[in-house]
């Protein structure tokens, strides 16, 4: 079995590639990956976050994708081929939830291949509000904060994973 | 002719509706397998294809696929999985359960249309 450090680097690469691929393929949007930083806990970045749990025999964790309202509206508008002004709150929540689902699907495959054991994803949960927190988040475990950018607007993906 | 899209994401159902609009077929949608089976009961003679997500609340894609393929009136309707589920074992399970085609999300509109055409005209 791979050690945690090598799995982390494989995971980060898989997730950064998946994030760019999902937004390019589904929303015709180019994404720039600006880097990754280790954080002691979850940070409530953005106005809207979509969170998904990932569990398997060899570990468990969560992936959170966070956007400003404006960037979420822009991306969902491109998914739907509509103008951003027509995007409703329900559209934003549903669209961002589906994006984290697609990105996490790649993380799941990467984890399964590295550990040789299957992983499962939860259904996405949406949290609204600037500076929000996640009460049921993994605790006492570092978070990787990945920063991306679309047309000058940043968004973040946070990953926390604990190996058994 | 009706295409039935089964996905818990309303946005993805809209994306699929927009993409398949060029084919000129009527379109129905369901947010889970249970609703899909109700729509099949009502419209099955006209439904020519089911596009089916895997991970959904209430009734997931694999349970829905098995229900369709074991139903005497629905079993001949082709089912194409449209899902983020990429585990090889699960793809094999869906094909063994009777899925006619398997498209992974994310997908380009062109790929969705090509797979639909392949599935409708094997």
- Mind listing the pLDDT tens digit for each residue in B19-66? 999 999 999 999 999 999 999 999 999 999 999 999 999 999 999 999
Question: Looking at residue A1, what is its pLDDT?
Answer: 40
**Is the Cβ pair A106, B89 closer than 8 Å?**
no
> Hey, which residues 92-111 in chain B have their CB within 8 Å of chain A?
104-108
Class at the top of the CATH hierarchy for domain A4-163: alpha beta
Chain B residue with Cα closest to A112: B87
Structural domain includes residue B115:
no
- Tell whether the model's pLDDT for residue B118 goes beyond 60: yes
**Are B7 and B27 spatial neighbours (Cβ–Cβ below 8 Å)?**
no
* pLDDT category of residue A138 using cuts at 50, 70 and 90: low
pTM, full prediction = 0.90
> Hey, which residues 31-70 in chain A have their CB within 8 Å of chain B?
none
Q: What is the mean pLDDT of chain B?
A: 95
- Tell whether the model's pLDDT for residue A4 goes beyond 50: no
Q: Which two tokens stand for residue B14?
A: 């809209």
Identify which of A68, A92, A37, A36 has the alpha carbon closest to the alpha carbon of residue A150: A68
> Domain ranges in chain A?
4-163
With beta carbons under 8 A apart, name residues in chain A contacting B9. Answer: 94-95, 97-98, 101
Of the residues A15, A24, A26, A87, the best mutation for testing chain B's interface (the one with the most B CB atoms within 10 Å of its CB) is A26
Chain B residue with Cα closest to A93: B11
Residues 6+ apart with CB under 8 A from A5: none
Strand boundaries in chain A, DSSP class E: 32-39, 48-56, 59-67, 119-121, 125-128, 143-150, 153-163
Structural domain includes residue B59:
yes
Q: What is the pLDDT of residues A26-52, one digit of tens each?
A: 999 999 999 999 988 888 889 999 999
Structural domain includes residue B110:
no
Domain count, chain B: 1
Q: How many CB pairs under 8 A join A and B?
A: 56
Residue B6 is part of which domain span? Answer: 2-104
């Amino acid at each position: 079995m791979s050690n945690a450090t090598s799995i982390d680097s494989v995971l980060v690469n898989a997730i950064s590639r998946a994030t760019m691929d999902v937004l390019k393929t589904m929303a015709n949007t180019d994404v720039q990956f600006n880097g990754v930083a280790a954080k002691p806990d979850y940070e409530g970045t953005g106005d809207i976050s979509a969170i998904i749990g990932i569990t398997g025999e060899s570990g468990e964790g969560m992936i959170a994708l966070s956007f400003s309202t404006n960037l979420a509206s822009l991306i969902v508008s491109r998914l739907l081929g509509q103008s951003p002004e027509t995007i409703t709150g329900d559209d934003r929540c549903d669209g961002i939830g589906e994006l984290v689902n697609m990105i996490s699907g790649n993380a799941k495959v990467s984890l399964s291949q590295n550990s040789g054991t299957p992983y499962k994803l939860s259904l996405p949960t949406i949290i609204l509000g600037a500076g929000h927190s996640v009460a049921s988040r993994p605790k006492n475990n570092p978070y990787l904060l990945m920063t991306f950018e679309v047309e000058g607007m940043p968004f973040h993906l946070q990953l926390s994973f604990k190996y058994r | 002719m009706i295409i039935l899209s089964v996905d818990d994401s309303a946005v993805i159902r809209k994306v699929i509706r927009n993409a398949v609009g060029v084919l000129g077929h009527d379109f129905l949608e369901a947010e889970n397998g249970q609703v899909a089976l109700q729509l099949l009961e009502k419209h099955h003679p006209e439904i020519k294809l089911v596009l089916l997500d895997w991970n959904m609340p209430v009734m997931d894609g694999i349970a829905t696929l098995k229900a369709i393929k074991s139903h005497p009136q629905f079993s001949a309707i082709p089912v194409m999985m449209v899902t983020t589920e990429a585990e090889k074992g699960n793809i094999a399970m869906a094909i063994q359960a009777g899925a006619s085609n398997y498209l992974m999300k994310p997908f380009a509109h062109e790929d969705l249309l090509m797979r639909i055409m392949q599935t409708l005209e094997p």
